[in-house]
Structure 1
Amino acid sequence: MLPRYHSLKRMRSKVFHVITKLELGGAQKVTLMTLERLPRERYQVGLATGPEGLLVDWANRIPDLSRVWIPSLVREVRPVKDLVAFVKLWRLFRRERPQVVHTHSSKAGILGRWAAWLAGVPVIFHTAHGFGFNDFQRPIVRKVYVWLERITTKITTKLVVVSYANADKGEQSGVFRRGDWILCRDSISVEEFIQPKPRRRQLRTWGIPDDKVIVGMVACFKPQKSPEDFVEVAARVLKKTHRAHFVMAGDGELRPSVEERIRKYGIGGHITLLGWQNENDMPEVYRNLDIVVLTSLWEGLPCVFSEAMAAELPIIATNVDGAREAIIDADNGYLHEPHDVDGMAESVLRLVEDQDLCRKMGHRGKSRVMEFDIGTSVATLEAAYRDCLGKTG
């Protein structure tokens, strides 16, 4: 039996969010935007995370936020570090006595929820921005991850999914049952991306001729995103037209592989690697693109989709998980199977050659984007917090 906390009606509820690392990614951005927007008259908010990542400065700028840095909280499976991180989280929750602990990502989700449960936290939330298991893992590895998620769900008050596809996957895998979850989209601040400002102002700075159709990918260079496939798409398009120029905004462990692939095809003059971009500069990055491509092997519901929709850009992406909840095939973009670089290249070429179609698709996407606004998501989440807190006493 978990300990009861005294009445919450005349006090602010203390809420701690836990995420592995503040690298540039959708889960991290949504977590920080949520922490910014939770009303301080109702909540004391805290964040426990690793001390590294491009979004650390953003976290440091959030007012009235208690920040706890845990160096041993890392993405990779490291038994000693994982144990140290677990103990630090448990001690943190025993000391701070939050009414709610809300975890994000697979590693922080497992460690954080068990630490919260053992510390007697009455309300435990977890957002599945995606799952630690996927179809590209060895069967035994996948089974272990599924088992860990299943047993951890038993101590979770409420699960949050970012797409109906995620909910279906969780139910079919036996991780949770219908009714255990609420839908809360991985969202963006739509207003920041739809502000009417001049387009294509950065092309000269990037060294790109302004008569090109700019095809961009915004992603971390990691296996999940399969950035080499973007280079494969570019190489196929450039065999048929030189009207296009390709841009990759991001970086990561696969950058050497990406650079080697670019050299292999001899397309260095037609593809620009921008590296990591400051989060505040992302709306401007999108204003310099004409088409967005994402080659992921699995996803929850990436913020790239809603960012591109708000920026009035068509999207060509892999048909994985929540993609079809943002992209309607042949309406505001095109969907292809993972690794279908030939098909994706054909779709890119179609839009490069038909700019009127490109604009129409972008307009259709923009008309649907408010579903993915952070204000909607925070309101949904806060209502769930209040409901669960009301049941604790």
Structure 2
Amino acid sequence: MNRATVIHVITELELGGAQEITLFTCRHLDRRRFEVHLITGRGGLLDADARAIPDLFLQFDDHLGRAVNFASDLRCLRSLTGRLRAIRRRSARPTIVHTHSSKAGILGRWAAFAAGADIRVHAIHGFGFHAGQPWWLRRAYQAAEQVTAPITDAFCPVSTANLEVARRLGLLRGGKPTLVLPSAIDAAEYEPKPGEGAALRRELAIPESAPLVGMIACLKPQKAPTRFVEAASRVAALHPQAHFFLAGDGELRPQVEAAVDAARLADRFHLLGWRRDVRRLLAAADVLALTSLWEGLPRVTLQAMAAAKPMVATRVDGTPEAVIDGRTGFLVESSDVAAFADRLSRLIADPALARDLGRNAHARLDDFRAESMLRKLEAFYDELLERR
């Protein structure tokens, strides 16, 4: 018999780590114990995936977009409140509202409070504020989190780095329950099958013997994709046979295309757009890269683990919890493109080292398996239900 109704709230289901782990959670929560709902914005690449989840009560809210707009956000707050109140009235069970991402986290928690939800949980997949913003905007986002924290019953940060930021901001005052819940994965989805990598290389006209460095990321400021192009240009000067791919799309695509042209890499830098065949991309690559300026705990670092591939990444937020410098890959400061290129070159020049780091990464996979994450989350829900 279901113990509770769990309602997940997130903005559009774009192709990203927070969205993928939210859908995984909605798909696999034990239906004998939980009635599972999802409220999300419309128009994301993963909408069809959400529709395909069995026994999921799915609602698309046209007001729940990613852009911040005061008038639209007020309409969203009213709409979410009405939806949550209607679900709560229909259910005789306790209601847990579990919000994801910054905007849905703020609006969703206030809507849950207004609707009288029994428990309000917020998953921290990184924060909406970062050092690259004007100070006043960063402070406004911090204030929004601080004002919303008192109506939050529990937090689920994806990394201890995010937990520490929450603690410094005073979000955890009063001894609020917290569960660090890394962005886990189903490893079998990403462990390469024989021949997959070679087949993808043939499709892209990349020689089998050519070193291949790949980055899988949305082309948005957070991921700093033009820095990957700059690093690739430096690597290409030392390794003329090397190829590169960038799988993803977004607002910075024109800048990325211009950077590739300026670096004269058009014949060796493959802009792939959005791709769902992540396992094939991982199989084809020799090294994975991630040039993010801020993060929660990036899902691609775990996908690289599953594929036993080394990663060169920036030392930001939760990334060092997945990439161990010198053991499973390399970490560099986000501003140091020269060091980033140097680590990529080192792995290209020493395939044995790359294989060793990849094997070490795969050995850490047990810490990030989705089955373990789900059981921990269900136990956390049980704990919160017992405390109410």
Asked if TM exceeds 0.5, the reply is: yes
Find out whether 1:123 has 2:115 as its counterpart.
no
Q: 1:129: how far off?
A: 0.4
SS in 1 for 2:113: helix
Kept in 2, the 8 Å contact 1:200–1:289? The answer is no
| Aligned residue among 147, 152, 155 for 2:148 | 152
Q: 1:11: how far off?
A: 4.2
Partner deviation per Cα, 1:60-106 (whole Å, 9 max, x = no partner): 11001111111111111111211111111100111110611000000
SS in 2 for 1:17: strand
Q: 1:348: how far off?
A: 0.5
Number of the residue aligned with 2:250? 252
Number of the residue aligned with 1:176? 172
Runs of 4+ in 1 over 6 A off after TM superposition: none
Range with bigger deviation, 166-175 or 99-108: 166-175
Q: Distance in 1 between matches of 2:193 and 2:74?
A: 49
SS in 1 for 2:260: helix
Find out whether 1:165 has 2:156 as its counterpart.
no
Taking structure 1 as the reference length, the TM-score comes to 0.95
Partner deviation per Cα, 1:28-79 (whole Å, 9 max, x = no partner): 0000000111011111111100111111111011001111111111111111
Q: Distance in 2 between matches of 1:351 and 1:200?
A: 20
Q: 1:25: how far off?
A: 0.4
Number of the residue aligned with 1:62? 53
Kept in 2, the 8 Å contact 1:89–1:115? The answer is yes
Instruction: Give the direction of change, closer, same or farther, for the CA distance of 1:11–1:269 in structure 2 (3 Å limit).
Output: closer
Instruction: Give the direction of change, closer, same or farther, for the CA distance of 1:12–1:197 in structure 2 (3 Å limit).
Output: farther
Q: Superposed, which structure 2 residues align to 1:34-53 within 5 Å? A: 34-53=25-44
Aligned amino acid, residue 82 of structure 1:
D
Partner deviation per Cα, 1:116-166 (whole Å, 9 max, x = no partner): 011100111110000111111111111111111012111111100111111
Q: Superposed, which structure 2 residues align to 1:76-115 within 5 Å? A: 76-97=67-88, 99-115=95-111
Number of the residue aligned with 1:71? 62
SS in 2 for 1:76: coil
Q: 1:391: how far off?
A: 2.5
Q: Distance in 1 between matches of 2:348 and 2:252?
A: 27
Number of the residue aligned with 1:6? none
Q: Distance in 1 between matches of 2:319 and 2:351?
A: 23
Partner deviation per Cα, 1:194-213 (whole Å, 9 max, x = no partner): 25533332111122222211
Aligned amino acid, residue 241 of structure 2:
R
Q: Superposed, which structure 2 residues align to 1:219-298 within 5 Å? A: 219-278=217-276, 281-298=277-294
Higher RCO structure, 1 or 2 (CA under 8 Å, sep 6+): 1
Number of the residue aligned with 2:7? 16
Q: Distance in 1 between matches of 2:261 and 2:192?
A: 38
Number of the residue aligned with 1:7? none
| Aligned residue among 211, 219, 222 for 1:213 | 211
Kept in 1, the 8 Å contact 2:212–2:284? The answer is yes
Kept in 2, the 8 Å contact 1:146–1:175? The answer is no
SS in 1 for 2:199: coil
Q: Distance in 2 between matches of 1:118 and 1:197?
A: 53
Task: Give % identity.
Answer: 42
Kept in 1, the 8 Å contact 2:219–2:250? The answer is yes
Find out whether 1:201 has 2:199 as its counterpart.
yes
SS in 1 for 2:267: helix
Q: 1:335: how far off?
A: 0.5
RMSD value, Cα? 1.2
Range with bigger deviation, 234-243 or 189-198: 189-198
Instruction: Give the direction of change, closer, same or farther, for the CA distance of 1:217–1:353 in structure 2 (3 Å limit).
Output: same
SS in 2 for 1:201: helix
Kept in 2, the 8 Å contact 1:105–1:127? The answer is yes
Aligned amino acid, residue 197 of structure 1:
P
Aligned amino acid, residue 115 of structure 2:
A
Q: State how many pairs are aligned.
A: 381
Q: Distance in 1 between matches of 2:160 and 2:2?
A: 35
